[in-house]
Each structure stands twice: as C-alpha cells, then as structure tokens.
Amino acid sequence: MEMRESKIINQGLEDEMAMWGYRPCLWKMVLVGIGAVCSGGLLLLLLYWLPEWGVKTTCTHTSLRDARTLLLRSTDEFRQWFRAQVHVMLAPGKRPFDSVDLQSTAQLPNGDGECTLAAIHEERYGVFPHIQPVQIHYFTLHSTKYYWNDVMHNFEIYKGLEDVKVSCASIHCDHSAGLSKPLQDYRRLFFEENEIAVRVPSILKLLIKEVLNPFYIFQLFSVILWSAEDYYYYATAIVFMSVISIATSLYTIKKQYVMLHNMVAAHSIVRVSVCRGTKDVEQAMSTELVPGDVIVIPANGMILPCDAVLVHGTCIVNESMLTGECVPVTKTSLPNSGEDGASTYSMEEHKRHTLFCGTHVIQTRFYTGELVKAVVVRTGFSTEKGQLVRSILYPKPTDFKLYRDAYLFLLCLVGVAGIGFIYTIILSIMNQVPAKTIIIESLDIITITVPPALPAAMTAGIVYAQRRLKRVGIFCISPQRINMCGQLNLVCFDKTGTLTEDGLDLWGIQRVEDGSFSPPEVEAAKENLVDTPFVSCMATCHSLTKIEGELSGDPLDLKMFSATGWILEEATEEETALHNPIMPTVVRPPKHVLPETNQNIRLTQNLELSALSSYEIGIVRQFPFSSALQRMSVVVRRLGEKHMGAYLKGAPEVVVGLCKEETVPQSFTETLEAYTRQGFRVIALAHRQLESKLSWHKVQSLNRDLIETNMEFLGLIIMQNKLKEETAGVLEDLRQANIRTLMVTGDNMLTAISVARDCGMIRSHERVIIADAVPPKDIQPASVTWHYTENPAHNTNNHNQVVEIKLEEGGYEAQPAQLDQSYHFAMSGRAFAVITEHFPHLLQKLVLRATVFARMAPDQKTQLVEVLQSVDYTVGMCGDGANDCGALKRAHSGISLSELEASVASPFTSSTSNISCVPNLIREGRAALITSFCVFKFMALYSIIQYLSVTLLYSLLSNLGDFQFLFIDIAIILIIAFTMSLNPAWKELVCRRPPSSLISGPLLFSVLTQILTCMTFQVLAFLLVRQQSWYEIWTPLSDACNVSHAGLSYSLNGTSPHDHKNIRNYENTTLFYVSSFQYLAVAIIFSKGRPFRQPSYKNWPFMLSCVGLYIFLFLIMLRPVPAIDRFLEVL
C-alpha cells in the first residue's frame, strides 16, 4: 500500500526523494503520550532520533493530496528519513505563472504593501479580496518549498522563469517590459522574498539539538547512575568533559554559521531599479524581486541579488564567487531572432547571457537612451548561489566504512554489556542483594562496557591532523573527511592551472599563404605583418576590456593580444552619450610598427593621422567564447572601409569545419597533430568579408551562425602551457604509492595526452587508445570506434576489433597477449556522453583503464567522479576551482587550489597553488585513519579490561572504588588516548593503504588476542591472591582487610563509610594494579607507527605519559604512600 502511494520528487537530481502521505491519528497519539510518560520521555527521544517511527506511530497512511504530514526518504545509498508538515495557503491562482486577473488590485488594502505581504505570509489571505482564493498545499524542506500539483498528483518546485519553457525571443517580446505591482505581489506568494537567508541559530537552540545527541543522553544516564552510587567525583569529571566538548562543538558550529551568514549577507540586500511597464522605473529593495521582474544594471556595476538574463546591453562580470576564476567575463544580450531566438531558454546553455546571483558586474556598455536591462530568472535559494549555500547547509552524510564498523563494534560491546547485565542480576539475586543495589550495579556494567569518552578520544586524532594540515597551508571545512583521505586510491586532476601553469606563452604562429602553411614564425609584432588579416584577427578576436585603465580578460586573450603589440581604446561614457550607436572598441598598432612607407613620408599632421587611422579597426559586435561551440568571433570594420569583416578563433577541428575547403592546407591534420603531440595548445584563426549591404543595426540582430560560415582559414597560433615544477615529482610519488591518477580537462585530446606523457601520468613505453563514440543519426545507430594515438591510420580495423571484443567480453585482467597491459584509454566529453547514454555497460569497464578525459564539461566531470565511485574507487579531485566545483564537492576528498569563494564547496582548500598538497593530505589522512583505529582498539580494550575487573569483583559483592575509577579514566585513559593521537604522519607515501574496516581478520585477531591475554592474567591474579597464606575472605563482619594497615585503624564491624561497599580488599587491590598495567601495555601495543605514522618514541608526550605512569604505579605498589593508598582505597 505504502509503495503504491509513494511519489518521487526531484527525480534524477542529487536530492531525489521518495515520499509518503500521513494524517494525524488521535488514538496513536494518546498511546504515544502514555508511553512517553511511562518511559520518562525516553520514547519521545527515540521517536525524535527515528523520524520514520515518529510519523508511523502518531499518524495513519493517506493519499498525498490529503496528507498533513509527509515522510520522505532519500533514494541514495544513505536512505535518510525526513518528516515535513504540510501547510495550506490561499492565493488567487494555483501556479505563479498562471494568467490571473489582478487589474482591480492595483491598490493593496490599507495602501500598505509591506504590511499586507506580511499578513499574507501569516494568514494566507486578504490581499486579493475580489478573487475567490484557491487552497494550495505546500511543505518546506531544506530551504526549498514544494507545492501540490493536481495534474501531476505530486509536489513540485517552482524554480523560476525556466518553469514555463519560454523561448529566448519570447523573453524579449513578453517579459522585457517588467511586471505590474499586483502581479509581482502575486508571484511573491509562491517565490517569497528574494533572499538567501542563512539563519544563525541561537545558542539555546543549538544547545538543545547538541544535547539531544544519543551520546550525550547516554552520558546523562551514566551520570545519574553514578550519582545514585555516590560516585560523585567521577560523575563530576564526566560532566566537566561533556561541558567542554559541548561548548567546543557549539563554538565551532556557531562560527561556521556566522561565517556562512556573513559571506551570503554581505551583498544580498541592495536597492535596485525595477521597470514597471516600458518606461516607468522605480527604486525597490532586492528582496521584493520575483522571476519576471526587469531590473536596470547601473553603469558603475553592482552585486547581482538574483539570477537574471541580459536583454539589453553588455556587461563585464567577475564570477569568481561561483567559478573560482577571477577573469572578467563579457555577458551579451540574449539572442532574439533566428534559431538561437527560437530555442528554449536554459541557464546552462545561455550562461554567456545570464548574470548569476552574487557575481559582481564591473561595468556595463549600452546604447544612447537605452538602459542595460536584465529579466529576473531565479530568486532566493533557487539561484546558483542559493544552491551552493544549500549544499553547505545540508551536506550529505559522510559514508565511510570505519564509522559503519565502529557502530557494529559498539553493538558488540552492548551485547557483551547485556551478558554482564544478566550475570550481575543473577549473581545479586543468589546473594540476596537489595533490589536497589541490583538495579544500580547491573546498569553500571553497561556504562563500563560502552565508554562515554570514546567519541572525544576518536575525534582527537582528526583534530590534530587538521592542525598539522593548517600548518602546511591546507584548510579543512569537513574534518571527518580527513580519515577518508587515508583511503584514496585514485585522484583526478584538472590540467590548466593545476598540473600546468595558469598562463600560456606564445610559442609561435604559422600562417597560411596561398592554401599552404608558411614556416613557423616566433613573433607576430613584425612590421611586415601589421596589415595582414592574421594579425588583425589576433588583435580583434578577444573579449578584453579596460578596467581602471588596465587591460583585463582571459589570460589566453591577454597573451595573444600583447603578442601583437597593438593598443586597445574604449569609448568613455561621455563619448558614448554623444552618439546614437555605441562607440566601438578600437584597436590599432603603435606608430613605430607602421610600415616604413607610411612613416617616412613627411606630410602634414592631418595626413599622418589619416594614414595611421587606416590601420585602426573597430570591433562592432562580439560573439563571446562558448565552451559548447568551442569558438568565439567578432564583427569588425576597418576605419575608412565600407565592408565589414568577421574574425573567428577557436579549437582547430571546429574552425576548419566552418572554413572553405580550398583555404585549408592539405597538411592541416599532420601539422596540428605534430603540435598537439608535443603538448602545445593550438588555436586556429579564420576571416571572412561580409556583404556590403549589412549595416551596423543589422549586424546587432544577426545570428552568429550566419556570420561563422564560409570563412577563410588564416593559420594557427601555438601556445605553450608549461608544467608546474612540482607536478612530475608528485605524480611519481602517487604512482609509487599505488594511487591511480587521471586527467580531466576541457582542453584538446592530443594536448592532454601529451601533457599526461610529459608529467609521467602515461609513461613513455605505454600506448594510448582513443575511444571515440558517435551518437545515432538517421538510421545509423550509435557506435564506438578505437584507435591508437601513435598510428591512427595504420591497421586501425585490427586494433578496433581486438579492443572492442575484450570490452564486450568483460574484465581487463583477461587481456590477450597481443594487447599487452601497458596501455591507457582516452576519451573526449562527446564520447563520454554518448557511451553514458547508449553504452552504459561499457562505461564502468572503460574507466578502469582510462587515464585522459578531454573536452569535458563541468557536469561531465561530476558524472565521471560518480562513475569512478560506483566501481569502488575512493576518489580525490584536485582542481583550481574554475568549473570544478561540482566534482570537488562530489568526490570523497575535493582539494581546491583556489582560495576564492567558490572553494567553499570543497572540503579542502590549499593556499599553495600546486599539487604538492595532495600527497601531504593523503599522508595526514592515513595517519589520522591509523590513529582512529589505534584509539578505537585501545578504548575497546579499556572497556573490556575494566568490564573483566568489575565482573570478577562482583562475584565478591565488591567493586572498584570511586577514586580508582577516577584515576583509571582520567589519569590513564584520557591522557593516553589524547597523547597517542599525536604521532605525526610518516614522511613518505608507501605503496599499501591502511585498512578501511574494523571488521577484518588481522584487526579482530589482534583485539581478541589481547582480550584473551588480559582475561587470562586477571583471572590468574584473582585466583593466585586467594591462595596466599595471609589471605582471608572478606565478609561484612570480618576484619581481613580492615586491620591496622600503614598506621591506620578501622572499625571491626565492617560498616565504616570507607568500606561499606567492600572496596578495600585483596582482590580489588590486585585487579586494580594488574588492570592499570594492562591499560598501559595495550596502549603501547596498539600505538602503531610506521609505515603510516612516525614511531611512537618520537611522540614525546605519549612516551612521557607512559613512562611517568609506569614509574608512579611501580612506586605506589612497591613503596606504598599512605595518603595515596587512602585516596585510591588500595591495600
């Protein structure tokens, strides 16, 4: 029944969830209330920890339409449960973009819009009194609202303008005038205020949430129990430790909330100019914006408070907050005609026209009399910035085998405690012990077996590792992931800015003359090249702009433009205002490089200027670089000429496809491969003269596809992208440590393969097989082809057949001799997409041997990480933040080399901009992981040793004393547990990884062996002391252990306050000393050093503690000190 009624929300997305509907049930609630009273509130706590049972025990199942409470479960491997309350609001329409007659509501009741909107939020009616309101059911989860849809019979999210599948042309026609005030108010009912509200919880709220943790509830239970036994000192010590732990935790959580709040709130609420109709512009707060509003972007720029699409003008934007790339990006207005205009608007596809929330518009360019306008697309948490903040506020739980095994181990300890619990009850009943004592002592055995200090001790190693990482410039926002770094067996690297330097150097140019390549030239700024289309293309085909007098833009564009030596001049605002069209950006060569024929003629100043101006080129229109198209182009006009021209640059294979075949040299493929094999980055240039009938205004509305066709191929620019000094050494270290490395880049395939060879990712004797895939076309099905990069033309079919057969048949371990093991697969983003969709059965097999992934889009990088995780790799991702955010967040350990705001999505951020941080992080992760194992085993043995001591003493109706517990738990256990975690990481990466599971043969064997050894010695000591000639069995009336001892006298009736619990007896003293030495012995045995941590003898606090405690114990045992004996209640 439940499964039939369940629905899926966010289908196909990261936060996909199944959902069931419930309504309150009175008789169930009464029963739960009675159970809560009878259990002293423990039942309510249990239902708080288990939302699934909390709903099922108080509600009955119903349809989603009638539900008042929803039970949701994530569909990922974590299967997390959530509960949400369904609310009802009243609105004039059912959906935000429905056509509703709101004309008569132009004046809101009482004329107070703000007050009325607040009332709507609370009461859900009253703003639109003339319209019969409809009821809308909704619920909120993780800062996202879901509304009921009667057609779909499911809840849905309203993200923004994209929901109505509007075309680009329609945005210009139907949405560029702005919204009326009533329509804005109506939409705000659904989208609420435009604010990414990170509420910083109060200390009290955080405290309650922290204290309700099962661990602290167990500690509270332990403290109450110990107080009932008059163990006040130890109870006080545990309370003191808990208070410190809670205070530290609250401080850390509060600090993170405040930091995130400050980051988000810095520019989240600003005043904006909003268009009302075609001409009316009014000032409003950014919180009032809704999808469909039209805002004016001021000339001096602003911080965007929403996601908006540009419909008029051009903006230069710094998107470092989102991408981690501080290079200014030029945003142009959305196309409104042709195929581009007819296409459905998508933020992903039209990102070059979209201004994202939180990004900084540096400056705008506009036409005289027209404003730079943008249509609001998304607001609040639906924006790109909002999604980033949500991912930080509601992260997925860390899935790590160590933690799962730790819980299983704790359950085993609880089972052992259960045995002791039953044993204590039976033994006490047989000895006719009072009922109160039976209850207290039987419960006490549980608190002994499950140590309350375990979580604090386990955290210590991670905290120390975090501090050591900070010292080497690696900052961590998710400390639990440090342990996961110790298990990394594969690391993906971005190329540009990560493996190689950020900047590119111009190696040379190779122009085309008369249909063939001329010899390569080193400089483009020669006098004889000034008037060539090639240099003109280099000087104009870019998106550079001047910001505060300095050229700014993409590093590649900057390098290319500076190589020409030309000068860029932009019109000022005052000059723009004097002209109807926007004054174009002008580029010109410096005077000293003009041809001598012009420079030697001594003419008048006017003629000289005229000669100079003939080389000036105005950039009339830009078509910005698109990663999907892999090209950019500009329309230009040389001063004094009637014809306009178009220049194009981009990926060579793309540019060639847009050029006339006769202009492309026959040796193009061989020349390109020669450069890319050497690791050069190659860019192709092309030119075309446009028809004379094209006017400036026509050009502004032309589709780029009409411009970028029938081009003439001009030649190649060869850029050199040097490896960073540290790259090769680090990758060799990782290879020696048996950690696989991959390259995931947006660059050319052959360039990426060459860089992979240069840095040692692919070794010189290893071959590379390129996997290429073609999507289905007409009647042709999708297909995969294979070829070796070294000889793609020779004997291709044979190679294809061998590799394809093995892929179809399965495992790579069974490769035939003719295809040796020394090979790697490489594939492009296009091939990855086709194989993912049409050959999913091949994908997992391919990634097992693939090393280079080229031309990968940002979302494909994330998909690749997920595929690698699905074949049981523990994946690390290292990138510079630009376009890597999704992959950095999805990987088990994401390491960002950028310290900009985009890195907040990454668990780790390095202040050094090279990959030397990766082995450092893995070494510290391995050390922290081994430390966690050591501490866990030590704490488990500690609880078992104490459990054995207490169980043996219970047979005498005795126990350890209050101060004996205190000495063991504080002086021995806590000091040892916290100091044994201080071993630094080993200085080298070794080829084997630390174990990831506690439930493994060697680990269990070591623990069980120690348990048996300790048990044997305790039982032997317990039995041997009873065989001594001076031994006398203790009874309440005997004086066996109460005779004068060390100058002290005691009462003979055995009822003195020091001895009413039978603490001072021979067995107690014997087991106290034996167990104390066992704690220290176990600590030394389990404190593992090499090969993952420095040896324990280099951890001087640990060694000092162990030696000091050994000396102290030997002294008080062999040379008793009366004051200490009295304090510890030993003989």
Residue positions annotated with a catalytic role = 494
Q: Contact at 8 Å (CB) between 112 and 43?
A: no
CA angle 294, 295, 299 (to 5 degrees): 145
Q: Tell me how far CA of residue 730 lies from CA of 384, 499, 725, 734, 917, in angstroms.
A: 34, 10, 10, 6, 9
Q: What is the 8-class DSSP label of residue 999?
A: S
The candidate with the shortest Cα–Cα distance to 723, out of 752, 690, 685, is 752
Query: Rounded distance, CA 1004 to CA 933, Å?
Result: 11
686 neighbors 658 (Cβ within 8 angstroms): yes
Q: What DSSP string describes 448-467?
A: HHS-TTHHHHHHHHHHHHHH
CB neighbour list of residue 110: distance below 8 Å, 6 or more residues apart: 116
CB crowding 239-253: b at 16 or more within 10 Å, else e: bebbeebbeebbeeb
How far is 317 from 547, CA to CA, in rounded Å?
11
Q: Which tokens is 834 given? A: 């086709």
Cis peptide before 1122 (omega within 30 of 0): no
Rounded distance between C-alpha atoms, residue 639 and residue 536, angstroms: 13
- Asked whether the beta carbons of 755 and 723 are under 8 A apart, the reply is yes
Token pair belonging to 751: 């360039």
Q: What is the C-alpha to C-alpha distance for residues 684 and 656, in angstroms, rounded to an integer?
A: 8
Which of 326, 330, 325, 328 shows the shortest CA–CA distance to 313? 330
Q: Scan for tokens 């087991």, then name that residue.
A: 1071
Structure-token pair, residue 156 = 């849905």
Please state whether beta strands 740-744 and 850-854 pair in parallel, antiparallel, or not at all (unpaired): parallel
Estimate the share of the chain in helix, then strand, then coil, as percent rounded to the nearest 5.
Answer: 45, 20, 35
Q: What is the identity of the amino acid at 890?
A: R
Closest Cα to residue 1042, out of 1129, 928, 914?
Answer: 1129
Tell me how far apart the alpha carbons of residues 432 and 438 are, in angstroms, rounded to a whole number: 9
Which phi and psi angles does 892 have, rounded to 5°? -60, -35
CB-based burial of residue 478 (10 Å sphere; 0-12 exposed, 13-18 middle, 19+ buried)?
middle
First to last CA, the chain: 68
Q: Mark out the alpha helices in 581-726 (DSSP H runs).
A: 596-599, 605-613, 652-657, 668-677, 696-701, 704-707
* Bridge partner residues of 921 (DSSP): none
- Give the count of beta carbons closer than 10 Å to the beta carbon of residue 884: 33
Contacts of 845-850 with C-beta under 8 Å, sequence gap 24+, read: 845/807, 845/810, 845/811, 845/812, 846/771, 846/807, 847/871, 848/812, 849/812, 849/823, 849/824, 849/825, 850/742, 850/771, 850/824, 850/825, 850/826
Number of Cβ within a 10 Å radius of residue 170: 17
Of 580, 507, 492, 586, nearest to 546 by C-alpha is 586
